[in-house]
Chain A
Amino acid sequence: MLLQQLIHGLTLGSVYALIALGYTMVYGILGLINFAHGEVYMIGAYLAIIFLGLLTAMGLTSQHLILSLFLAFLGSTLFCGAYGFTLERIAYRPLQKAHRLSPLISAIGVSIFLQNYVMLTQGSSDKVFPHLLPEGGIQIGGIVMSYIQILILTLSVLLMIALHLFVTKTRMGKAIRATAQDARMASLVGINVDAVISTTFILGSALAAAAGVMVAIYYGVVNFNIGYVAGIKAFTAAVLGGIGNIPGAMLGGILLGMVESMGSSYLSSEYKDLYSFVLLIIVLLVKPSGLLGARVNEKV
């Protein structure tokens, strides 16, 4: 029972972690809480359903299940990357020099817009994700891991490793880290800060889309308003780990998933959403910069 819940929490947590990464990367560079990020996740889930529907209509799903799942996944992440890019261009870039709260309001506007856009075009009722993967699972000891859980865990671990390699090993990753440290200095040494910002948005949105697709498979239903709660939780996860800190977001996400899963099975599931916030407040009071966040010295 305990282990079973642990696995559930881990699955949930890795999804939160993927969304939290987008928050934390954008925050690290722009200092902006991107409230529309949860909507991108929701759009990712919808796109996967739409693409799978299309592939089914073309008759591909019945013959090559894995291929069509892969195509839907790829399509969804690519499209969401494009959405992230566009959002940044339209709603945030003109506001780079404005007061800190202006882009926040703009982000809220984008969030309201995207929710209603999806509701109008796809309807307000739940969308059901087609049952494609085999039910069952693997039994290890006394616990059962379903195929879906295995898929989600492996995929998110792979994505996180890929992101880590990208940020630490590539030229662009180095530019991202430099910009996060000091955008002005980075631009002085020849880093194209605008390109870095765009890349960050594309990456973050693609990761959110991946999370969206996986949640759609895990729970089997998608609704136009799932982005809001997921967004808040992922943001909590990002803060928990220390916002702006990439490993922190991963840790925070997984911790949040665990706490939520444990709390709802051992305490009361009515207060499911409460535990994460209580945990957050406690952590912030003890260590105000989050678990892995660096202590930022005040600039005088």
Chain B
Amino acid sequence: MLIRPLGAASLWIGLLVLPFTGLFKAVLMGVALLVGGLIWKAVARFVHQILSRFQSYQSRLNPLSNLIKRVNPLRVNPMPAKIMGVVGLIMVPLLLNNYFIDVLTVAGIYVVLALGLNITVGLAGLLDLGYIAFYAIGAYTYALLNIHFGVSFWVGMPLGGITATLFGVILGFVTLRLRGDYLAIVTLGFIQIVHMVLNNWDNMTQGPNGILNIARPAVGSFSFQSPIHFYYLILLICFLTLAIIIRLDRSRIGRAWIAIREDELAAEAMGIPVTKYKVLAFTLGAAFAGIAGTFFAAKFAFVSPESFTFLESVLVLAMIVLGGMGSIPGAILGAATLVILPELLRGMADYRMLIFGALLVTMMIFRPQGVMARRKLDIVRNVDSP
């Protein structure tokens, strides 16, 4: 009974890949699917049995998601765990080689980006597909100011943030009339336009060659050079971002955003100035992206349009959806996972991105609300929600 649908599915997939892989590999794949499916079912049954001894009926429905719930680090006593986490993050570069410190630094950049986008998409519910455009604007602002006027990083960073914010205000006002997916497509258009301008405005941006030799940050005679310096810098930026965003999240503004996300009309009826808060969400998200962009330019001393594509935007979006929309720990976890996972898969060489794509789908199927989903209304925790 078990083998028939599985066999049919394997045969079907085998047929589908046949023209691409040739007969031998197609048969191989079909057989692998069949065997893998059988093993998966057996394991799932085993896990069911184990879990059902400990837990109520509900746990049988989805063993995997329950497993994730069980190991959810947030369930651990929060304060000591947080202190351990911070200490761990400060200590960790002492144990790693430069390559992995760089990976962690990149993860840090994406944490800032994901936290920023989490304001726009997660809290206010505005689907922004062109988020990376602000990141690009921040990076190029610092790069150009530095190359032409010798502006230092410490001045360039806020300036990059401000420029991105200005663009955020403009885009926010322009797109206010649009809802949902139309907003998404205009922001998609925005990233394409920014990317194309960066690529083609040779006099200003040096086109696809990018801008080289951007100055690294320095304090007095001390210059940030080694990966470990940048690691601590981005760690600091991450903590600052986190502090601001946690405060925002719990503030009146944060609640207004959630209200707009849940029901715009009702929010307006309750006296929330929807327009103002929407533009604010857009703008604040953009500011964090801009700052992350200046750090990116300083870290790699090089910017080119290649780093700022629509796909990059989608990656950041995937991070917050994977982590759980609107959830701050989720955004951090999502960012760290999607940066570090492909690095860990590097051993698979060519199959890396293939597996990555498949994992995205699998994770969504097993946990569509994200790994650390935010309880729907944690403000009114004790009220029964449908």
A27, A35, A117: the one contacting B20 at CB < 8 Å is A117
Asked if B28 is an interface residue, CB under 8 A from chain A, the answer is no
Can you list, as one digit per residue, whether each of A70-90 has a CB less than 8 Å from chain B (1) or not (0)?
A: 000000000100110010001
Instruction: Kindly specify which of A55-63, A92-100, A159-167, A259-267 makes contact with the partner chain.
Output: A92-100
By a CB distance below 8 angstroms, the chain B residues around A99 are: 321, 325, 368-369
Q: Which residues of B contact A (CB under 8 A)?
A: 12-13, 15-17, 19-21, 25, 121, 127, 174, 177-179, 181-182, 184-186, 188-189, 192-193, 196, 200, 265, 310-311, 314, 317-318, 321-322, 325, 350-351, 353-354, 356-361, 364-365, 368-369
A47, A117, A228: the one contacting B19 at CB < 8 Å is A47
Asked if A223 is an interface residue, CB under 8 A from chain B, the answer is no
By a CB distance below 8 angstroms, the chain A residues around B369 are: 98-99, 102
By a CB distance below 8 angstroms, the chain A residues around B186 are: 280-281, 284
A208–B353 Cα gap in the complex (Å)? Answer: 24
- Nearest opposing residue in chain B for A279, CB measure: B189
Can you list, as one digit per residue, whether each of A233-247 has a CB less than 8 Å from chain B (1) or not (0)?
A: 001100100010000
Instruction: Kindly specify which of A107-115, A189-197, A212-220 makes contact with the partner chain.
Output: A107-115
A288–B186 Cα gap in the complex (Å)? Answer: 10
Asked if A146 is an interface residue, CB under 8 A from chain B, the answer is no
Do A33 and B181 have beta carbons less than 8 Å apart?
yes
Do B19 and A109 have beta carbons less than 8 Å apart?
no
Asked if A199 is an interface residue, CB under 8 A from chain B, the answer is no
Do B182 and A285 have beta carbons less than 8 Å apart?
no
By a CB distance below 8 angstroms, the chain A residues around B265 are: 298, 300
B184, B325, B353: the one contacting A33 at CB < 8 Å is B184
Do B317 and A121 have beta carbons less than 8 Å apart?
no
Can you list, as one digit per residue, whether each of A18-37 has a CB less than 8 Å from chain B (1) or not (0)?
A: 00000000010001010100
B181, B193, B350, B353: the one contacting A243 at CB < 8 Å is B181
Do A284 and B318 have beta carbons less than 8 Å apart?
no
Given contacts A232-B310, A270-B200, contact A101 B127 (CB under 8 A): yes
By a CB distance below 8 angstroms, the chain B residues around A300 are: 265
Do B360 and A108 have beta carbons less than 8 Å apart?
yes
Given contacts A99-B369, A101-B325, A300-B265, contact A109 B189 (CB under 8 A): no
By a CB distance below 8 angstroms, the chain B residues around A126 are: none
By a CB distance below 8 angstroms, the chain B residues around A243 are: 181
Asked if A91 is an interface residue, CB under 8 A from chain B, the answer is yes
- Nearest opposing residue in chain A for B366, CB measure: A94
- Nearest opposing residue in chain A for B191, CB measure: A277
A111–B353 Cα gap in the complex (Å)? Answer: 11
A111–B364 Cα gap in the complex (Å)? Answer: 14
A106–B367 Cα gap in the complex (Å)? Answer: 11
- Nearest opposing residue in chain A for B195, CB measure: A273
By a CB distance below 8 angstroms, the chain A residues around B193 are: 274, 277-278
- Given A105-B317, A109-B360, 17 new contacts (CB under 8 A): A33-B184, A99-B321, A104-B321, A105-B360, A109-B357, A109-B359, A112-B360, A113-B361, A114-B357, A116-B350, A120-B350, A228-B311, A239-B182, A271-B200, A284-B178, A298-B265, A300-B265
Give the shortest distance, in Å, between A80 (CB) and chain B (any CB): 10
A103–B25 Cα gap in the complex (Å)? Answer: 30
Asked if A170 is an interface residue, CB under 8 A from chain B, the answer is no
Asked if A6 is an interface residue, CB under 8 A from chain B, the answer is no
By a CB distance below 8 angstroms, the chain A residues around B365 are: 91, 94-95, 106
A46–B12 Cα gap in the complex (Å)? Answer: 19
A91, A101, A117: the one contacting B321 at CB < 8 Å is A101
Give the shortest distance, in Å, between A283 (CB) and chain B (any CB): 10
Do A236 and B185 have beta carbons less than 8 Å apart?
yes
User: Can you give 19 A-B contacts (C-beta < 8 A)?
Assistant: A91-B361, A95-B365, A98-B364, A98-B369, A102-B368, A102-B369, A108-B360, A109-B356, A109-B357, A109-B358, A110-B357, A110-B361, A113-B361, A117-B354, A121-B25, A273-B196, A288-B178, A290-B182, A298-B265
A105–B121 Cα gap in the complex (Å)? Answer: 14
Given contacts A82-B16, A271-B200, A284-B178, contact A112 B357 (CB under 8 A): yes
Given contacts A280-B185, A280-B189, contact A105 B196 (CB under 8 A): no
By a CB distance below 8 angstroms, the chain B residues around A91 are: 361, 364-365
Residue picked from B20, B188, B196, most chain A C-beta under 10 Å: B20
Q: Which residues of A contact B (CB under 8 A)?
A: 27, 31, 33, 35, 46-47, 50-51, 79, 82-83, 86, 90-91, 94-95, 98-99, 101-106, 108-118, 120-122, 228, 232, 235-236, 239, 243, 270-271, 273-274, 277-278, 280-281, 284-285, 288-290, 298, 300
- Nearest opposing residue in chain B for A103, CB measure: B364
Given contacts A236-B185, A298-B265, contact A122 B20 (CB under 8 A): yes
Given contacts A112-B353, A112-B357, contact A118 B20 (CB under 8 A): yes
By a CB distance below 8 angstroms, the chain B residues around A298 are: 265
Residue picked from A47, A239, A243, most chain B C-beta under 10 Å: A239
Give the shortest distance, in Å, between A292 (CB) and chain B (any CB): 14
Do A285 and B177 have beta carbons less than 8 Å apart?
yes
Given contacts A109-B359, A113-B361, contact A50 B20 (CB under 8 A): yes
Give the shortest distance, in Å, between B64 (CB) and chain A (any CB): 13
A101–B317 Cα gap in the complex (Å)? Answer: 9
Do B16 and A232 have beta carbons less than 8 Å apart?
no
Give the shortest distance, in Å, between B206 (CB) and chain A (any CB): 15
B16, B20, B368: the one contacting A95 at CB < 8 Å is B368
By a CB distance below 8 angstroms, the chain B residues around A110 are: 357, 361
A135–B368 Cα gap in the complex (Å)? Answer: 52
Do B321 and A121 have beta carbons less than 8 Å apart?
no
A43–B322 Cα gap in the complex (Å)? Answer: 27
A104, A114, A115, A277: the one contacting B192 at CB < 8 Å is A277
B12, B178, B192: the one contacting A274 at CB < 8 Å is B192
By a CB distance below 8 angstroms, the chain A residues around B350 are: 116, 120
By a CB distance below 8 angstroms, the chain B residues around A239 are: 181-182, 185
A243–B179 Cα gap in the complex (Å)? Answer: 13
Of all A-B residue pairs in the complex, the 6 with the closest CB atoms, nearest first, are: A109-B360, A113-B357, A98-B368, A112-B357, A277-B189, A109-B361
Residue picked from A86, A102, A121, A236, most chain B C-beta under 10 Å: A102
